[in-house]
Structure 1
Amino acid sequence: MSRYIRSKRYGGTFFFTVTLKDRHSSMLVNHVDLLRESVRHVKSRRPFEIVAWVVLPDHIHAVWRLPKGDNDFSRRWQLIKILFTKKLKDKTHYKSSVWQDRFWEHEIKSDNDLRAHIHYCYLNPVKHGYVLSTCNWPYSSFHRDVKLGLFDLHWNGLLPNE
């Protein structure tokens, strides 16, 4: 059995997939307000930049950039998961464990790699059939990036040169 070794790079940029135990749940979008509160709280104490983020019913894809001299993305995810679970249990009296124990991480190594993972985040709701266009999925940093002029509202996953 192979043993996965997480990146130790300080100040790196990383792509993550974080998943609920129940892959048929819609808990994340049903309680997106609790997730947002949890992320804000952790971010205020352990800063990181959200480069891209999409919340789907049962999983999250995110691209984060950590501060220089910091490589502890695992603790950040742990705190987000703990806080979301606590808030969920307080609000709904949910009794079971919510998250899969682990998460998947990929260290971004180039501009092309970064662009591909941002696109992956933004196209994921379309891929799963939740919407026909990225602009129709409300639980994504895509809308922030449109306001910043980084994407056109009607972006379809292709750049002009592609």
Structure 2
Amino acid sequence: MPLTPKRKLPRLERHHYRGHAVVFWTVTLENRERGWLGDSFHARFRELILHAAARESLFCPVYCLMPDHLHLMWMGMRRESDQLNAMKFLRTRLEPALGNGRKWQHQAHDHVLREEERKRNAFAKVCFYIIENPVRAELVGSARDWLFHGAVVPGYPELHPLEDGFWGLFWKLYVREREAESPPVRKPPLRS
């Protein structure tokens, strides 16, 4: 019997997850099952999150896989980015890699960052909260010792949030990508 009933969590309207939204996601296994986390799952996760990022124009400055859940931060890079589509894509394709019939909980938990939470220092604080999760769980003494975290920015496979210079380069890439977006098309008013 599941530990939690299958009921829908309150969710914001879809437009909050579209466009340039920044969302902190937590995806938990049903019954908080363990035994699936390893190098092959991590590789499959990185492959699929890269595809989700490319499909929906997203950057993932930080993710952390834990023994019974995962955390990730996504940032929409285009007006047409849709994080709900990306999360559905990721969960659906990643679930078979959990093995032994394991499943995700019915719905991922999310926190859409408000404007004040998106400023660089506040944003970095949330990202370090994610990356320090294994330390708080007493799985490792230092976040650097955990093998299952990183970043996914299409075109930059070696980027890692704990490396020196990461944040400077990340923000440079973020600004460049956002500036590359064409301005919205202005339609002339209809004449009657």
Common fold, TM-score beyond 0.5? yes
Q: 1:5 aligns with which of 2, 11, 18?
A: 11
**Paired residues of 2:24 and 2:112 also in contact (CA < 8 A):** yes
Aligned pairs for 1:2-151 (under 5 A) are 4-6=10-12, 8-9=15-16, 10-29=19-38, 31-70=41-80, 72-86=82-96, 88=97, 94=100, 96-109=101-114, 110=116, 111=119, 112-141=121-150, 144-150=160-166
Label 1:125 to 1:69 Cα distance change in 2 as closer, same or farther (>3 A).
same
**Paired residues of 2:57 and 2:78 also in contact (CA < 8 A):** no
> Take 2:90 and 2:26, find their aligned partners in 1: how far apart are those partners?
13
> Take 2:94 and 2:11, find their aligned partners in 1: how far apart are those partners?
26
Aligned to 1:160: none
TM-score, normalised by the number of residues in structure 2: 0.65
Cα distance, 1:116 vs structure 2: 2.4
Question: How well do the aligned residues superpose, as a CA RMSD in angstroms?
Answer: 2.6
Alignment-mate amino acid for residue 98 of structure 1: K
Percent identity of the aligned residues? Answer: 20
Cα distance, 1:145 vs structure 2: 2.3
- Number of residues of Structure 1 aligned to a counterpart in Structure 2: 146
Cα distance, 1:54 vs structure 2: 0.8
Misfit runs of 4+, over 6 Å: none
Per-residue deviation, residues 23-74 of structure 1 (Å, max 9, x unmatched) = 1413133622222222122223222100211111211111110123135212
Alignment-mate amino acid for residue 10 of structure 2: Y
**Paired residues of 1:29 and 1:56 also in contact (CA < 8 A):** no
> Take 2:87 and 2:79, find their aligned partners in 1: how far apart are those partners?
18
**Paired residues of 2:57 and 2:81 also in contact (CA < 8 A):** no
Q: Structure 1: 5+ residue runs without aligned partners?
A: 152-162
* Structure 2 counterpart SS, 1:141: strand
**Paired residues of 1:25 and 1:57 also in contact (CA < 8 A):** yes
TM-score, normalised by the number of residues in structure 1: 0.76
> Take 1:85 and 1:25, find their aligned partners in 2: how far apart are those partners?
13
> Take 1:78 and 1:53, find their aligned partners in 2: how far apart are those partners?
17
> Take 1:24 and 1:61, find their aligned partners in 2: how far apart are those partners?
16
* Structure 2 counterpart SS, 1:145: coil
